[in-house]
Amino acid sequence: MNQPHFLNCIFKPENLSSDELELIVKQFEEVAFTKNDYLIEKGKVANYYYFLETGFLRSYTIDLEGNDITTKFFSEKDIVIDWHSYFLKKPCKESIQAVTNGKCWKINFNDFMKLFNIEAFRAVGRTRLVNNYFELKNHSISVIADQAKDRYLNLIKEKPSIVQNVPLKHIATYLGITDTSLSRIRKEITL
């Protein structure tokens, strides 16, 4: 069986039987996307759960003043999902848009639920959900309690590929600062 690359990135194939691997592969559909494409749009119900194989995406919303604010970045090996919308079938409160070209694998809710009898699949899902929660919580606290320079340095440390591949205007809004402040911080760091 020809296994998609994401299986080796997300799962430990040695923990799955060949029948389980085959069942998982059959449920996913490969999706190529180009820069600025939307995987999930605000106001619509998220019908798919994605494993990102290549490329970069961001989630964002529009604040009360009409500003585009990035809330999260996604890169290789990430699960791309609006958890609330996908599982509760509620309209999304933000959009997820491609920052670069890339490839992902999508699965709809009914096919996703078919895979829940596979313990290794459930374990990966639980781990990813918990990690996503902690990442969101840490970012929320950081925006309140940390200096902007420290937030930027942490992003460089934790996700250097984001800093190298995502426009600075998106990074600035994610960090809760202006483009000008981010430029000043970048100059300070390089001196």
Q: What is the pLDDT of residue 162?
A: 93
> What pLDDT digit, counting tens, does each position of 50-87 carry?
999 999 999 999 999 999 999 999 999 888 999 889 99
Give the span between the Cα atoms of 128 and 137, in whole angstroms.
14
Which fold is adopted by the domain 5-118?
Jelly Rolls (2.60.120)
Q: What is the pLDDT of residue 16?
A: 75
List the chain domain ranges: 5-118
> What pLDDT digit, counting tens, does each position of 94-125 carry?
999 999 999 999 999 999 988 888 888 888 77
Radius of gyration, alpha carbons of the chain: 18
Does the pLDDT at position 1 exceed 60?
no
Q: What is the pLDDT of residue 122?
A: 81
Written in H, E and C, the secondary structure of 4-49 is CHHHHHHCCHHHCCHHHHHHHHHHCEEEEECCCCEEECCCCECCEE
Give the span between the Cα atoms of 40 and 49, in whole angstroms.
10
Q: What is the pLDDT of residue 7?
A: 65
Give the span between the Cα atoms of 179 and 171, in whole angstroms.
8
What's the whole-number mean pLDDT along residues 123-129? 81
Kindly tell me the burial class for residue 129, based on how many C-beta atoms sit within 10 Å of its own C-beta (0-12, 13-18, 19 or more). middle
Beta bridge partners of 69: 61
- 69-97: b (≥16 Cβ within 10 Å) or e: bbbbbbbbebbbbbeebbeeeeebebbbb
Which element (helix H / strand E) includes 104? strand 102-108
Provide the mean pLDDT of the chain: 89
Q: pTM for this structure?
A: 0.87
62 versus 11: the higher-pLDDT residue is: 62
What's the whole-number mean pLDDT along residues 6-11? 64
